[in-house]
Amino acid sequence: MEFVTLPNGVRMPAIGYGSYHLFPWKTRKPLTFALEAGYRLIDTANIYLNERTIRRTLKNLPYRREDLFIVSKIWPTYFRDEDCVERTLKRLGIDYIDVLLLHHPSGDFLAGYRKLEQAYEKGLVKAIGLSNFFGEKLEAVLSQAKVKPHIVQLEAHPYCSEKAVLERLSPYGTKMMAYYPLGHAENGLFQEKILQDIARAHGKSVAQVILRWHVQKGFIPIPGSDDPDHLRSNMDVFDFHLSDEEMARIATLDTDRRFYVPTPKKEAHYVRQIPFLWK
C-alpha cells in the first residue's frame, strides 16, 4: 500500500473502499472481503445509513483501530446540531474519525464547517474537509475557515480531473478523494481505446490503469464493489507505473464530463432529507 500525506502530516492510504452502495443489511460480507483484500481506508457517510453496520462488522474482525482509516461525511440536515460529530462517532463506535467532511454545500454549511473545526481542535477528528463544494460556496468556506480543508472529495476520473478546484486549493496543500473513480454505470470509459491500449501494454485491466492514474495524480480513489475478485483486482495497482507519455495520453480524455451534476433544487432537497437518522 502507498500513502498520501495530508497538509497537516496525517498519512492516508492511497486507495480506499467506498461503501456508498452498501445498504445496512448488505455491508458485512463486502466490507469483510475488502479488509481481507488489503483495504484499510473505509469511506462512509450519514446518508449511507451503514455507519452502525460498519461498527458491528469491525467489532467482530481482528483489526486494530490504529490500522484502519475511517472517513465519514456529515449530512446537511445536521450541520447546526451541536452533537453532529459526536453522534457520528457513536454510530461508528470509535473515539476519533480520521477524516470528517461536509457532504454537500447545502443549508448552513458555514455552521457545519465550524463544527468540524471544533472537533479537529478537540482531537475528535484527525483531518477535515469538504465534499461536492465548488465556486462561490467553496469560496465562502475558505474565506471563514480557520483550518483550511485537508481533503476535498469530488467526482473524479479520466473524463473529469477537477483541475479548477484543485488549482484553487493548491496553496493549502489540500488532497482529493475521488468518488466514481472508474466513471459511473454505462459511461463508455472502459471502451476508450487509449485506456485499452495502455492496459494491454502493461498486462492490466482498464480499471487497474484508471486506478493507477489516480494514484500517480495524487488522488485517493474510493472504488466500491461487492465482488471479491474485483476488490482484489482494484488493489493490485502498485506493481506497475504509467509513463509520462501514457499519463499525457489519458489527459486528452478530460472534457470536464461529470455524472453527478449539482443543482440548487437538489441541494435544497438535501437539507430536508432523512431526519429519522438521529432517532
Q: Judge whether 180 counts as a catalytic residue.
A: no
CA 158, CA 195: separation in Å to the nearest integer?
Answer: 10
Beta bridge partners of 177: 153, 220
CA distance 126 to 101: 11
Handedness of CA 123, 146, 7, 68 (dihedral sign): positive
**Which amino acid would we find at residue 79?**
F
Residue of 48, 113, 159, 180 with catalytic role: 48
Q: What are the phi and psi torsion angles at 249 (to 5°)? A: -65, -40
3-state percent breakdown (helix, strand, coil) of the chain, nearest 5: 45, 15, 40
238 contacts 13 by C-beta, under 8 angstroms: no
Q: DSSP string spanning 26-48?
A: GSHHHHHHHHHTT--EEE--GGG
Burial of 236 from C-beta contacts in 10 A (0-12 / 13-18 / 19+): middle
Q: Which sign, positive or negative, has the C-alpha torsion 161, 131, 42, 231? A: negative
Count Cα atoms within 13 angstroms, Cβ side, for 38.
15
Q: Which residues are catalytically annotated?
A: 48
